[in-house]
Amino acid sequence: MNIHIKELNKYFNQFHVLQNINLDIRKGELIALLGPSGCGKTSLLRIIAGLEQPSSGQIFFNDQDISNKDIRERRIGYMFQHFALFRHMTVLENISFGLRIKPRKERPSASDILAKSKHLLDMVQLSNLADRYPDELSGGQKQRVALARAMAIDPSVLLLDEPFSALDTKVRRELRQWLSNLHHEIQLTSVFVTHDQEEAMEIADRVVIMNKGVIEQIGSPKEILDTPKNDFVYHFLGETNHFSVGEQNFTFRPHEVILSIHTEKVGYFEATAIDIRPLGAVTKIVLKPKDSDYPIEAQVPNTTRNLSSLNKGDKVYFRPIMDFEI
């Protein structure tokens, strides 16, 4: 299903949390709403779901204006940040809830409900935990139950609020990949909110970068990384170094720097290595440029020649690769 959001505004009292939002989400896409906390991304998700009303503007699902439609007519699969599983129901009861409460005319037979719930349990690989209660599950298991419960009503769109934030790092990586694969399989239009740029870049088809209630940029992960539209987007997407010499200003990422231990070449600046940290595939080196008070961070592959002979306090020459001049 396509989602079309047109000139949407939201005020909380005097606070303008969403300012003139225009966004098109294409059928089958996996979209990330990315931004720092308080940027309005969760409000936007809740408005799409119908949990909040916009102050003005419209939302279309497949050309149909649903701005004034009740939540129950929208058929939204929604996953809450802390999953919001029904604590007094078993896993199976949680998953079948959306089917069991349907009006009698639309409700499938008890055996169909059971069959469908079991199928969903298989899909999220939790068949052996059908009779457990939510407080007997790990974070990752809860997340998968929440997903299966949302999928039970054959949603027209899947909305996920910070789906991985309540999980620890290792589980987060596994589930991220799993969710991405699942999305490819079922091709359901999905929107997820995150403040973690790595997460957005890794699984989203397109990323919507938001800041202070406005959309700063919309694009594929590659477009956004290669051609950040403005200062905010550039800074938000990763570590940044600033360095100025005379009239020249340089802004560059830690990996966008070449180091040399040989004496001055053209375009290289002198610095002292004040910290060296091997981090697996790359080594992080903190440099204190000779003509600047602010340290800069360089990340070089650990296979870099002469790296092993570099010690704290040594003189080093560096050259920013990309001149992103501001």
Partner 1 sequence: MTPIIHKQTTLKRSLLLTLTWLVFGVIFLAPLSIILIEGLSKGLGFFWHTFANPVALSALKLTLFATIVSVILNVIFGVMAAWCITKYEFVGKSLLTTLIDLPFSISPIIVGLIYTLLYGSQSILYPFLMEYNLQVIYAVPGIVLATIFVTFPFVARSLISLMQEQGNTEEEAARLLGANGWQIFWLVTFPNIRWALLHGVTMCTARAMGEFGAVSIISGHIEGLTNTLPLQIEILYNEYNATAAFSISIILLIMAMIILFVRQWCERKITHVTSDAEQ
**Region 233-272 residues binding partner 1, contact defined as CB under 8 A:** none
**86 binds partner 1, rule: CB under 8 A:** yes
**97 binds partner 1, rule: CB under 8 A:** yes
- The region of 28-36, 76-84, 234-242, 256-264 touching partner 1 under the rule CB under 8 A is 76-84
Choice from 11, 60, 80, 178 touching partner 1 (CB under 8 A): 80
Contacts from 49-56 at CB under 8 Å and sequence distance 24+?
49/74, 49/76, 49/78, 49/159, 50/74, 50/76, 51/78, 52/10, 54/8, 54/9, 54/10, 54/18, 55/9, 55/10, 55/11, 56/7, 56/8, 56/9
For strands 214-219 and 241-245, give the pairing. Answer: unpaired
**322 binds partner 1, rule: CB under 8 A:** no
**Region 100-139 residues binding partner 1, contact defined as CB under 8 A:** 101-102, 135
**286 binds partner 1, rule: CB under 8 A:** no
Which residue's CB is nearer to partner 1, number 78 or number 250?
Answer: 78
Give the separation between CA 308 and CA 314, rounded to whole angstroms.
12
**11 binds partner 1, rule: CB under 8 A:** no
**Region 50-69 residues binding partner 1, contact defined as CB under 8 A:** 50-51
**78 binds partner 1, rule: CB under 8 A:** yes
List the one residue out of 2, 28, 19, 56 whose CA is nearest residue 210.
19
Half-sphere exposure at residue 106, Cβ-oriented, CA atoms within 13 angstroms: 7
Residues ≥6 apart with Cβ < 8 Å to 74 = 49, 50, 61, 66, 156
**293 binds partner 1, rule: CB under 8 A:** no
Torsion, CA 48, CA 52, CA 55, CA 59, rounded to 10: 20
149, 97 Cβ separation under 8 angstroms: yes
Choice from 76, 157, 175, 273 touching partner 1 (CB under 8 A): 76
**152 binds partner 1, rule: CB under 8 A:** yes
**324 binds partner 1, rule: CB under 8 A:** no
Q: How far is the CB of 88 from partner 1 (least distance, A)?
A: 4
Using CB under 8 A as the criterion, which residues of the chain lie in contact with partner 1 when the complex forms? 49-51, 71-72, 75-78, 80, 82, 84-88, 97-98, 101-102, 135, 149-150, 152-153
